[in-house]
Amino acid sequence: MIEIQNLTKTFGTGAEAFTALSEVSVTIRQNEFFTLLGPSGCGKTTLLRTIAGFVDPTSGTMTLDGADVLASPPYVRPVNTVFQNYALFPHMTVAENIGFGLEMQDRPKAEIKQTVGEMLELVQMTPLANRATSEISGGQQQRVALARALAPRPKVLLLDEPLSALDFKLRKEMQIELKRLQSETGITFVFVTHDQEEALTMSDRIAVMNEGQILQIGGPKEIYDHPAERFVADFIGETNFLEAELVSVDGEVAETRLPSGKTISTRAASGRAGAGKVTVAVRPEHALLEPPGALIDGKLENIVYFGTDTHYHVMLDGGARFVVRRQNQPDAVEAYTIGDAVGVSFNPGVGQVLRD
C-alpha cells in the first residue's frame, strides 16, 4: 500500500539544519496495522505527516497504492488522519461530525445518511447520534473522530497518538477496539506511539525508530524476542544487559562466556561473526532466581510486588544490576529476603547477542 525509499527530511539550513528523517525506507502492506514506535523526537510523526502530505520531504520517493503522491496535496491523497486532540466540531452532533467529510465531497444525501449510520454502528455510538460532541466523554469523542476519518473509506488511516489523552483503563479498551476496527474495515492503519505496550498489543508489524532512522521492522513477537540492537532491546519492554565474550557463532546460535566464567548458548544477531566482547540481552521473565552457585551470583537488593508478578533486583558480582521477574501464585510463600546471597540463571537460547 505504501512504498517509501530513501526518504530524508531536513528542517532549516546551514548550522541550524536538523535532519528529522534520514534515508528512511519502509514498505507498509495492504490491510495492515503498522506502528511507528519510538521516543519523542525520533521522527515518527514527521514520517506520518509526510505520508499525509503535510510535510514535503527533502529527498526520496513515496508511492501510495502504486501511485507517486509526493507532488499531490493532502486533500487529494486517499488518506485520512486522526489527531491527538480529535479536532471535533463542538457545535455539531455526533452524526453531523461523522458526515462532515462526506458533505465536503458533495456525496448524495442518501449515501451520507447510510454511511453515517454504518459508521455509528461500527464504533457502537448509534444511541448518541444526536448528542453534541461537547457532551460526550473522551473515549466517545475518540470513537467519533475514528468514525469521521473512516467514513470516506480512505485507503490509509493515519493515527497520531490518538489514545494519549485517555485514562489507563479506557486506553486499554480502545487498543482492542482499534484493532477490531482495522480488521473489520480492511483499511491500512499507520499508528504512531511511544508506548511499547500499545505497539505490542495492536500491531501486525512494528518499525522501531530513533534519531530519524528505522532500526528494526518486525512482528511484535520478533521485535520483543529478537531485538537486533541494544536500543531496540532497551526500548521494548524491560531488559537486562550482560557484558560477555563471544566464543563462537554457528548460524543463529552463539556460544558466549559470561563474567562468571561460565559458557552458555545464546541467540546470535544477524550479521554477527567472529569473537570479541558483546552484549547479551536477557528478559527478566526468562531468568530464574536461585541459591548461589548459578550462572551468575549476586546480592538481592530489592523485592517489588506488582500483583501479577514480583520483581527481584539483584546486584551481580562485578557491579551489574539484574532484574528477575516471577509470576505470582496464590498463597505462595516468599523464599527470599533483601540482603540474601542469590544466583541468577537462564536457559540456553533465551539470551540475545546484540549487534554493535
- At residue 275 the predicted structure's pLDDT band, cuts being 50, 70 and 90, is low
For residue 43, the model assigns a pLDDT of 94
**Under 8 Å between Cβ of 79 and 48:** no
Neighbours of 307 (CB within 10 A): 6
Q: For residue 166, what pLDDT is reported?
A: 75
Using the predicted structure, report yes or no on whether residue 118 has a pLDDT greater than 80: yes
Residue 355 is predicted with a pLDDT of: 66
Q: Would the pLDDT of 168 be above 60? A: yes
Mean pLDDT over 312-320 rounds to: 92
In this prediction, residue 14 carries a pLDDT of 85
61: pLDDT strictly greater than 90: yes
Tell me the per-residue pLDDT of 235-274, one tens digit each, with 9 for 90 and over.
Answer: 998 999 999 998 888 888 888 898 888 898 988 765 555 5
Categorize the per-residue pLDDT at 318 as very low, low, confident or very high, splitting at 50, 70 and 90: confident
Each residue's pLDDT tens digit, 193-233: 999 989 999 999 999 999 999 999 999 999 998 888 889 99
Predicted local confidence at residue 356, as pLDDT: 56
Residue 274 has a pLDDT of 55
pLDDT more than 90, % of the chain: 57
Give pLDDT, residue 277. 87
Residues 350/224, Cβ–Cβ less than 8 Å: no
Over residues 281-305, mean pLDDT? 94
Kindly write down the DSSP assignment for every residue of 12-78, as one continuous string: S-GGG-EEEEEEEEEEE-TT-EEEEE--TTSSHHHHHHHHHTSS--SEEEEEETTEE-TTS-GGGSS
Asked if residue 134 has pLDDT above 60, the reply is yes
Q: How far apart are CA 126 and CA 128, in angstroms?
A: 5
| Average pLDDT score over residue span 125-154 | 89
pLDDT of residue 91: 87
**How many CA atoms are closer than 13 Å to the CA of 168, on its beta-carbon side?**
1
Give the model confidence (pLDDT) of 65-94 as tens digits: 999 999 999 989 999 998 877 788 888 999
What is residue 6's predicted lDDT score, i.e. its pLDDT?
97
If you ran DSSP here, which 8-state letter would residue 269 be given?
Answer: P
Domain annotation for the chain: domains and CATH numbers: 2-225 (3.40.50.300), 238-353 (2.40.50.140)
Beta bridge partners of 324: 312
- How does pLDDT run across 40-54, given as a tens digit for each residue? 999 999 999 999 999
Q: Determine if the pTM surpasses 0.75.
A: yes
Q: Across 8-17, 61-70, 176-185, which has the greatest mean pLDDT?
A: 61-70
**So what's the pLDDT on residue 84?**
79
pLDDT at 100 over 80: yes
What proportion of the chain, given as a percentage, has pLDDT over 70? 97
Q: Are 353 and 256 in contact (CB under 8 A)?
A: yes
